[in-house]
């Protein structure tokens, strides 16, 4: 009986974290808002379970992996999936023609689907 109780507790505590998976970037809308400045509207999908496991940011990356912009997400979006958040004023030099947008969560860190977006 004790082993069964321990198994059930293990399942209830640890298994939901694994089911939440990684953050997927499902859509990226791009708007030029200055000469070399862009606004990103990014839609993420993640099975946030609460404060211990949630999508906590997304990033815009140059082809060489340089982080060009980060949108920090300050709370879980348990009941709002997928969800979209924006970041304006991302300065990107003229020689960069494509970027990658990736998501991050508080447990798995990076992973899941990314989107590559042409700038020009």
Tokens of 22: 């990684």
| Residue closest to 45 by CA, chosen among 28, 32, 62, 31 | 28
Q: How far apart are CA 28 and CA 2, in angstroms?
A: 50
What's this model's pTM, rounded to 2 decimal places? Answer: 0.82
* Domains, in order of start, for the chain: 2-118 (2.60.40.150)
Distance (Å, whole) CA 25 – CA 84: 10
Q: What is the DSSP letter of 10?
A: H
Please report which confidence band the pLDDT of residue 46 belongs to, taking 50, 70 and 90 as the band edges: very high
Map residue 14 onto helix, strand or coil. helix
Q: What pLDDT is attached to residue 120?
A: 76
* pLDDT of 78: 86
């Amino acid at each position: 009986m004790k082993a069964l109780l321990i198994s059930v507790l293990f399942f209830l505590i640890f298994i939901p974290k694994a089911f939440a998976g990684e953050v997927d970037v499902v859509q990226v809308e791009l708007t030029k808002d200055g000469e070399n400045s862009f606004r990103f509207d990014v839609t993420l999908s993640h099975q946030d379970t609460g404060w211990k496991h949630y999508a906590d940011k997304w990033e815009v990356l140059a082809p060489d992996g340089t982080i060009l912009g980060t949108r920090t997400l300050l709370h879980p979006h348990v009941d709002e999936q997928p969800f979209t958040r924006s970041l304006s004023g991302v300065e990107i030099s003229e020689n960069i023609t494509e970027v990658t947008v990736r998501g991050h969560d508080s447990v798995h860190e990076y992973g899941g689907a990314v989107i590559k977006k042409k700038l020009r």
